[in-house]
Amino acid sequence: MNHNHSTIAPPTKHQHRQTGETKKLELEITDYLMASACPNIEAHVSAVSGVHHIALNRTTGIIQVDYNAKQTTPETIIQAVKHCGFICQEGGPVHTAGHVKSDHAAHDHKGHDAEDPHAGHGNHMAIIMRNRFFFSAILAFIVILYSPLGVRLLGLNLPTPLGMSNELWQFLLTTPVVFWGGWPFLSVAWKSLLKKQLNMATLIATGIMTAYLYSVGATFLFAGDVFYEAAAMLTTFSLLGHWMEMAARNATGEAITSLLKLTPDTARLLRDGQEIEVSVEEVQVGDIVVVRPGEKVPVDGVVIEGRSYVDEAMITGEPVPVEKTAGAPVTGGTLNTTGAFRFKTEHVGADTALARIVQMVQSA
């Protein structure tokens, strides 16, 4: 069994593409911190009998698995993923044209639909981290004002509400920061420890809980300095970093979605002297495609008849439409502006320039 663990990007929707007995399965890890923290998920899933290849994109939390349909099932693979402590579901938020095949029986362009139900999942995660960050930042700022840092460096000596002790007041402020704001790190760390694994989340959780628990002990059990501000600040800055990570991930997904929208769903082919409209998945290398004014070029090729100006700004950034006559190359996703022309296809599916751009954006 060949376990090739590379980082690649799967299609948007769950698919069971099949070549002989081999099928492909895509899963999305919705527990976003676990996706980036676990170092051993590839080994766990690869141990399932019948799994030939697994690739986890730790930025997007998407897993792609190649497996033998006679030896295992998608349900078995999903259970193996969940056994690692993950929450996962079929499909994923990240789009790519990398799996568009020139073998059209295996091609599933519909999986690139921008209306994917998971397409907003990355933005949802960024919102979660943002809300936890702002909540924690407000309370952490107040904790700092009452901490030794605020007293000594800022010269502050603020009164506490209801006459309670300074330590008790900091305890009340820090506890929701640690256990609500820091819950994503604490929960992932706990799952990792149950699996006897150490990762980024366990490091963050250890720092937070060490400062917090020692301070709790110094507040209620023994005399000593408290470090509530350390626990609150570590939680807040960790949330800020992960919020920025989720926002960047979402921006990448939106960029890829925008690129995929450039490709039309259908193409007009010339066959036996007749123009027929087919799904873009059915276009093959060597087909003759007819493009009318206002239509998008479906795939890459070379003009064989006609004359027009094509807007290539979405691909090249050039604002002025480019003249296309016989012998000129055309690129899938560009917009025909004036005349009509015919071109012979040279690159389809994953071989098109647009597909390669999507792959580069995905791997950036």
* pLDDT tens, residue by residue, 275-301: 999 999 899 999 999 999 999 999 999
In a domain, 111, yes or no: no
The per-residue pLDDT for 363 is: 65
Domain closes at, from 229, 258, 287: 258
Kindly state whether residues 127 and 254 are assigned to the same domain: yes
SS3 231: helix
Higher pLDDT, residue 194 or 4: 194
Select from 15, 6, 1 the least CA-distant residue to 68. Answer: 1
Higher pLDDT, residue 312 or 350: 312
In a domain, 103, yes or no: no
Select from 297, 349, 287 the least CA-distant residue to 111. Answer: 349
In a domain, 348, yes or no: yes
The residues pairing with 271 across neighbouring beta strands, listed in sequence order, are 274
Kindly state whether residues 241 and 150 are assigned to the same domain: yes
- Average pLDDT on 339-352 reads 93
- Let me know: does 12 contact 254? Beta carbons within 8 Å: no
In a domain, 12, yes or no: no
Kindly state whether residues 275 and 348 are assigned to the same domain: yes
Select from 130, 153, 150 the least CA-distant residue to 140. Answer: 150
Domain range enclosing 84: 22-90
14-28, 195-209, 269-283: the lowest-pLDDT one:
14-28
The per-residue pLDDT for 121 is: 56
- Let me know: does 119 contact 94? Beta carbons within 8 Å: no
Kindly state whether residues 139 and 246 are assigned to the same domain: yes
Report residue 169 as tokens: 């007041």
Name the percent of the chain lying above pLDDT 90: 43
Q: Domain holding 77: CATH number?
A: 3.30.70.100
For 172-198, the DSSP string reads HHHHHIIIIITHHHHHHHHHHHHTT--
Kindly state whether residues 244 and 280 are assigned to the same domain: no
Domain closes at, from 258, 287, 306: 258
Kindly state whether residues 207 and 140 are assigned to the same domain: yes
**pLDDT mean across residues, the chain:** 81
| Distance of alpha carbon 286 from alpha carbon 343, whole angstroms | 9
Higher pLDDT, residue 193 or 323: 323
Kindly state whether residues 196 and 242 are assigned to the same domain: yes
Higher pLDDT, residue 14 or 25: 25
DSSP 163: G
Kindly state whether residues 218 and 282 are assigned to the same domain: no
In a domain, 253, yes or no: yes
Kindly state whether residues 227 and 286 are assigned to the same domain: no
pLDDT at 200 over 80: yes
Reported in sequence order, the residue ranges of the chain that DSSP labels E, i.e. its strands, are: 17-19, 22-29, 51-57, 62-68, 88-90, 266-271, 274-279, 288-291, 300-306, 308-311, 322-324, 329-330, 335-336, 341-347
The total domain count for the chain is 3
Kindly state whether residues 86 and 125 are assigned to the same domain: no
Kindly state whether residues 273 and 299 are assigned to the same domain: yes
- Average pLDDT on 39-53 reads 82
- Average pLDDT on 109-137 reads 67
Residue tagged 């090739």 (tokens): 4
Kindly state whether residues 176 and 226 are assigned to the same domain: yes
Other Cβ atoms less than 10 A from the Cβ of 271: the count is: 10
In a domain, 112, yes or no: no
pLDDT at 95 over 90: no
Q: Domain holding 347: CATH number?
A: 2.70.150.10
Cβ burial of 279 (10 Å; 0-12, 13-18, 19+) is middle
Reported confidence tier of residue 102, pLDDT bands at 50, 70, 90 = very low
The per-residue pLDDT for 90 is: 62
